[in-house]
Amino acid sequence: MKRKKAYIAGKISGLAIEEYYGRFGQAESIVEDMGYTVLNPLKIVPHWLDYEDQMSICLTLVDICDVVYMQSNWWNSN
């Protein structure tokens, strides 16, 4: 049986790199423990792309996922 995929969403802009990597890492562990294959944008999307290109990739990832795990700060994300 194919495992379902989960995308992790959350705030990155304006946070220190240690903070958002820590938050996304915690979320990844939680979602893996729930039995999903995790699509963590911090591990997939090249950081050197401009914002619009990064978001294009992120939206494609969301489109192929079964669920989106929304971190508590998602509402404050661009």
DSSP for the chain, written as a single string: -PPPEEEEE---TTS-HHHHHHHHHHHHHHHHHTTPEEE-HHHHS-TTS-HHHHHHHHHHHHHH-SEEEE-TTGGG--
User: How crowded is residue 29: how many other Cβ atoms within 10 Å of its Cβ?
Assistant: 11
Q: What is the pLDDT of residues 17-75, one digit of tens each?
A: 999 999 999 999 999 999 999 999 999 999 999 999 999 999 999 999 999 999 988 77
